[in-house]
């Protein structure tokens, strides 16, 4: 059974710092991996999607990498800003046929960027 | 562009009452999902609909029913609410098996069952 873990559960950094959020998964047979952002009281917004054949995806100050063999993904945020404060979740879509439409979510990392 | 719209945003029920959560998407997506989010447990899939006319159980389906009314709409029904169903519920949609099958979420329904 696929399990997704995000450590740490919470992170506080000063503005301007570059930071890395971690996501690990137990079954390397994945189809893709997504990183989401969730603001308090709001829904999730998909930030980046990495297909299993890809190593990384970039969008602005965000860069997500994927290493299937080690069961890890990282989300790199460059030059962090207070507006980046939110909870970041990763989700894995398993490569198993019977779970084609199911994402397994981590519990998220709550990020606070201090001015 | 509205994306995924959920109603209501908040609801308080008494144990044993019933209610239906409504969800509609305007992105012409084939697949729709209902998740619940509980502190410390992440998001868990309740039911999903791979395409119009089909529905399947997710990880935590007990106590819920769904209806895929048409391609746009996917509703979630609680027949007899229990305190354990107090949670935040999210509807989502996607177009799977494409190069960009990102999941789009509604803003959520905060449900309290007393």
- For an interface test with A, the pick among B42, B52, B92 (most A C-beta atoms closer than 10 Å) comes out as B42
Q: In Å, how far is B11's CA from the nearest CA of chain A?
A: 14
Confidence at A97, pLDDT banded by 50, 70, 90 = low
CB contact burial B57-69 (16+ within 10 A = b; e otherwise):
ebebbeebebebe
Q: Which two tokens stand for residue A3?
A: 């399990």
Residue-level pLDDT at A64: 97
Is the pLDDT assigned to residue A101 strictly greater than 90?
no
Residue-level pLDDT at A94: 79
Placement of tokens 């503005």 in the chain:
A15
CA nearest to B47 within chain A: A102
**Rg of chain A over all Cα atoms, to the nearest angstrom:** 14
Is the pLDDT assigned to residue A99 strictly greater than 90?
no
**Dist. CA A105–CA A112, nearest whole Å:** 21
**Dist. CA B92–CA B3, nearest whole Å:** 9
Span B53-97, pLDDT tens digits:
899 999 899 999 999 989 999 999 999 999 999 999 999 999 876
Q: In Å, how far is B49's CA from the nearest CA of chain A?
A: 9
User: Using the beta-carbon criterion (under 8 Å), do A102 and B40 form an inter-chain contact?
Assistant: no
**Dist. CA A107–CA B50, nearest whole Å:** 25
Residue-level pLDDT at B2: 76
Cross-chain CB nearest to B108 (options A36, A43, A89):
A43
Chain B residues inside the 8 Å CB shell of A32: 101
Collapsing DSSP to helix, strand or coil, B78 comes out as: strand
Residue-level pLDDT at A1: 82
DSSP conformational letter for B114:
-
Residue-level pLDDT at A95: 64
Mean pLDDT of B39-44: 83
**Dist. CA B92–CA B105, nearest whole Å:** 4
Confidence at B40, pLDDT banded by 50, 70, 90 = confident
SS3 labels along A15-65: CCCCEEEEEEECCCCEEEEEEEEECCCCCEEEEEEEECCCCEEEECCEEEE
Span A15-30, pLDDT tens digits:
999 999 999 999 988 8
Q: Which two tokens stand for residue B42?
A: 């992440």
Is the pLDDT assigned to residue A98 strictly greater than 60?
no
**Dist. CA B77–CA B17, nearest whole Å:** 11
Chain A residues inside the 8 Å CB shell of B103: 34, 36, 44, 46, 91, 103
Chain B residues inside the 8 Å CB shell of A33: none
User: Using the beta-carbon criterion (under 8 Å), do B101 and A102 form an inter-chain contact?
Assistant: no
Confidence at B98, pLDDT banded by 50, 70, 90 = low
Span A42-72, pLDDT tens digits:
899 999 999 889 999 999 999 999 999 999 9
Count of alpha carbons within 13 Å of B109, Cβ hemisphere only? Answer: 28
CA dist list (Å): A98 to A24, A86, B57: 22, 33, 12
Residue-level pLDDT at B1: 63
Is the pLDDT assigned to residue B100 strictly greater than 90?
no
Count of alpha carbons within 13 Å of B98, Cβ hemisphere only? Answer: 10
Span B3-36, pLDDT tens digits:
999 999 999 999 999 999 999 999 999 999 999 9
CA dist list (Å): A59 to A74, A95, B8, B93: 14, 25, 33, 22
Question: Which residue did the predictor score with more confidence, A73 or A1?
Answer: A73
Cross-chain CB nearest to A44 (options B56, B97, B105):
B105
């Amino acid at each position: 059974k696929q399990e997704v873990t995000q450590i740490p559960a919470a992170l506080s950094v000063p503005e301007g710092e570059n930071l890395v959020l971690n996501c690990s998964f137990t079954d390397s047979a994945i189809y893709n991996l997504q990183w989401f952002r969730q603001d308090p009281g709001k829904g999730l917004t998909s930030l980046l999607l990495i297909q299993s054949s890809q190593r990384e995806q970039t969008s602005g100050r965000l860069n997500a990498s994927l290493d299937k063999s080690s069961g890890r993904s990282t989300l790199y945020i460059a030059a962090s800003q207070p507006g980046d404060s939110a909870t970041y979740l990763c989700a894995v879509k398993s490569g198993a046929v019977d779970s084609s439409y199911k994402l397994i979510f981590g519990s998220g990392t709550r990020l606070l960027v201090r001015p | 562009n509205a994306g995924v719209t959920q109603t209501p945003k908040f609801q308080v029920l008494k144990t044993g009452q019933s209610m239906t959560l409504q969800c509609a998407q305007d992105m012409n997506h084939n697949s729709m999902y209902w998740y619940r989010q509980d502190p410390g447990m992440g998001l868990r899939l309740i039911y999903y609909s791979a395409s119009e006319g089909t529905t399947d159980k997710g990880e935590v389906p007990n106590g819920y029913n769904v209806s895929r009314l048409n391609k746009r709409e996917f509703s979630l029904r609680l027949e007899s609410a229990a305190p354990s169903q107090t949670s935040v519920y999210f509807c989502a949609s996607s177009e799977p098996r494409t190069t960009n099958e990102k999941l789009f979420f509604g803003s959520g329904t905060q449900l309290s069952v007393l």
